[in-house]
Structure 1
Amino acid sequence: MESPSLFRRVLRHPLTRLVLCVVATAVLSLLLYWLTSLIGLKRTGSGALGLWVMSVCNVISVVLAMWLVEWGIGRRTLAQLGLGRHRALPELGWGLLLGTGLISAVVGIMALAGWYHLVDGPPESFQDESRDALAWLAIFTAVGIFEEVAFRGIAFRLLEEWLGSAAALVISSAFFGLVHAMNPHATWFATLAIALEAGVLLGAAYMLTRSLWFAIGVHIAWNWTQGALYGVAVSGTEVAALLESQVQGPEMWTGGAFGAEAGGVAVLLCTAAGVLLLLYAVRRGQWIPFMPRRRARREAAATLATGETSV
């Protein structure tokens, strides 16, 4: 069998595909932003509709970029990339349940400690509250899909293929935290908290199922339950909520203005949940050792040498 050329080997390398996915996402995003501006969608402003339009553009860009690069180089389908239709709804449902449960537990502990209180807010009709809740559900759905495809579907998956599970988890989690460092009210502890609790939890969720739907469900429920249901800031962003609330307590445990996810309660609880998922993934044989490509080449060479010797 003829070995692939140097160009093909470089092209197929996970790092090359990672760079191509990032570049393709950026180019497609700029193109879509230009198209939305051309047809007038940018005139929706900075409100919920404008944020949703921008988020949908990001989703289309990152999914299309990942598919174009991986199909063009390795003929990989969306199902092979973690976005298959088979078991999508059950995995999404379990993710939504886990995300809702984790944030509810965090808020519940804060309430028992006397740090989370329900307060009287401005009078709103049921129709207005429902409209706001659905609007934020649409936004958080798009944000969840975009970030999971970008950080788990592209970054984690390709880093894991290149460097193994441990390095992929550390690097993708660190980068996920650093990206949130640009959010309002972000601190160094908030950045570390996001990397630990969310990076590990969502990375482990992907490892366990090798599907993005479970991680997407966790991400959507995490944001929507925290913000649109309980009225706690989501990564520094205030959200119109069904429950008017007030958080008062030590910032180290409550997260302060950044939100509960930057507090010690969420860090301990959600990181523990991520570690449990990670251990379960390891038990199911989903852990990939360090430098798997080099290990595979050595094993192939050893097998070839053994075969030649026996002949």
Structure 2
Amino acid sequence: MDSLPTLRRALHHPLTRLVFCIVLASVLTGLVRLLYLLLDLHWWASEVQQTLFMATGSALAALLTLVLVDGLLERKNLEQLGLRRRGALRELGWGTLLGAGQMALVVGVLALAGWYELVEGRPETVQDEVRGALWWAGIFAAAGFQEEVLFRGIGFRLLEEWLGSAAALVLSSAFFGLVHIGNPNATPFATLAIAVEAGVMLGGAYMLTRSLWFATGAHIAWNWVQGPFFGIAVSGTKQDSLLEGRLVGPEVWTGGAFGAEAGGVALLVGTAVGVLLVVAAARRGRWVPLLPRRVARQQPQPPPAPVT
């Protein structure tokens, strides 16, 4: 007779839901890839259009995963899942300012050190540059939303529910860094830098606001300002850009061919901002302790011994 409640508890356990999400997201992303092949996009669509199709489809797959697993199984609404409609544009805007400001600071420091240079004599017209930058804005918007749903909306949130904020921040950041290890020009240091600076910063952004919009805005702006604006590779890949820049300093500080986000300057800036966000979240009571400590806090304390 106890088997049904036990099964129900197992199904609702954060680890079980996390596994469900991983499997479902993989299946849905595979279906997006299958649709891409069935449409023969590689025959009639440009490379950037193909990339936008896959990024948008993957973002929708991530959102559907979130809604199906926790929306239906846990009966949570979008606001509880970090996608509240009220104030969404404001949170997205503040996040965009945060991400853009950080990357502008990183490139500014690199330029002052003589490690970032602008390249002259580009053959493209202004219209081509603007068009390409806009295409990539759409790609980074979809990709940023997808990754925030997966790593913060699903991964961090469920790990935090299970193990507390500290473990969730460490594990989600580590996984976030590892998924970049297969990118072009990736190095062990680049993977570590992405995990620490971006993982902590974006995890802190979500912890502080409990809003995926804020974290998504920061993620999108960080990538777009680095690539389509300043002309630096993003995660090892170059894009059409408004400016054409190059990194000429020591790779440990500039990030080299992988991009500025893999360098020491970005590591220091992103980590510092991330720590500030995490501290602010903790001060506002949004730090979730480890489960045994939560249980201990919830248990009634024995009355004080009488004074004799």
Q: Scaled by the length of structure 1, what TM-score is found?
A: 0.92
**CA distance in structure 2 between the aligned counterparts of 1:16 and 1:304, rounded to whole angstroms:** 32
Cα distance per residue 1:204-256 (max 9 Å; x no partner): 00000001001000000000000000011101111111111121011111111
Q: Are residues 87 and 185 of structure 1, via their aligned partners in 2, closer, same or farther at CA, if it must alter by over 3 Å?
A: same
Give the corresponding residue for 1:28: 28
**CA distance in structure 1 between the aligned counterparts of 2:160 and 2:108, rounded to whole angstroms:** 36
Q: Are residues 273 and 126 of structure 1, via their aligned partners in 2, closer, same or farther at CA, if it must alter by over 3 Å?
A: same
2:229 maps to amino acid: L
Q: Secondary structure at the match of 1:5?
A: helix
Residue 196 of structure 1 pairs with residue 164 of structure 2? no
**CA distance in structure 1 between the aligned counterparts of 2:294 and 2:8, rounded to whole angstroms:** 18
CA contact (8 A) 1:178 1:191 kept: yes
Runs of 5+ in structure 1 lacking a partner?
A: 307-311
Q: Which runs of 4+ in 1 moved over 6 A?
A: none
Runs of 5+ in structure 2 lacking a partner?
A: 304-308
Residue 93 of structure 1 pairs with residue 84 of structure 2? no
Q: Are residues 187 and 70 of structure 1, via their aligned partners in 2, closer, same or farther at CA, if it must alter by over 3 Å?
A: same
Give the corresponding residue for 1:220: 220
User: What displacement does 1:32 show?
Assistant: 2.6
Cα distance per residue 1:84-131 (max 9 Å; x no partner): 111110110001101111000000000000111112132322221111
**CA distance in structure 1 between the aligned counterparts of 2:264 and 2:162, rounded to whole angstroms:** 33
Cα distance per residue 1:166-195 (max 9 Å; x no partner): 000000001111111111111111011001
User: What displacement does 1:4 show?
Assistant: 7.1
1:287 maps to amino acid: W
Q: Are residues 4 and 121 of structure 1, via their aligned partners in 2, closer, same or farther at CA, if it must alter by over 3 Å?
A: farther
Give the corresponding residue for 1:185: 185
Q: Are residues 211 and 228 of structure 1, via their aligned partners in 2, closer, same or farther at CA, if it must alter by over 3 Å?
A: same
2:67 maps to amino acid: W
Give the corresponding residue for 1:309: none
Q: Are residues 192 and 106 of structure 1, via their aligned partners in 2, closer, same or farther at CA, if it must alter by over 3 Å?
A: same
What RMSD over aligned residues (CA atoms) do the two structures have, in Å? 2.0
CA contact (8 A) 2:106 2:266 kept: yes
Cα distance per residue 1:38-74 (max 9 Å; x no partner): 3444545671100110111111111101110112211
Give the corresponding residue for 2:155: 155
CA contact (8 A) 1:98 1:218 kept: yes
More helix by share: 1
**CA distance in structure 2 between the aligned counterparts of 1:270 and 1:121, rounded to whole angstroms:** 33
Q: Which moved more, 1:234-243 or 1:30-39?
A: 30-39
CA contact (8 A) 2:59 2:145 kept: yes
Q: Are residues 297 and 42 of structure 1, via their aligned partners in 2, closer, same or farther at CA, if it must alter by over 3 Å?
A: farther
User: What displacement does 1:305 show?
Assistant: 11
Q: Are residues 36 and 195 of structure 1, via their aligned partners in 2, closer, same or farther at CA, if it must alter by over 3 Å?
A: same
Q: Scaled by the length of structure 2, what TM-score is found?
A: 0.93
CA contact (8 A) 1:44 1:50 kept: no
**CA distance in structure 2 between the aligned counterparts of 1:27 and 1:190, rounded to whole angstroms:** 29
**CA distance in structure 2 between the aligned counterparts of 1:281 and 1:174, rounded to whole angstroms:** 20
Give the corresponding residue for 2:167: 167
Give the corresponding residue for 1:113: 113
Residue 266 of structure 1 pairs with residue 232 of structure 2? no
Q: Are residues 253 and 282 of structure 1, via their aligned partners in 2, closer, same or farther at CA, if it must alter by over 3 Å?
A: same
Q: Are residues 254 and 8 of structure 1, via their aligned partners in 2, closer, same or farther at CA, if it must alter by over 3 Å?
A: same
Give the corresponding residue for 2:49: 49
Aligned residues with identical type, % of pairs? 58
Q: Are residues 299 and 118 of structure 1, via their aligned partners in 2, closer, same or farther at CA, if it must alter by over 3 Å?
A: closer
Residue 133 of structure 1 pairs with residue 133 of structure 2? yes
**CA distance in structure 2 between the aligned counterparts of 1:127 and 1:92, rounded to whole angstroms:** 27
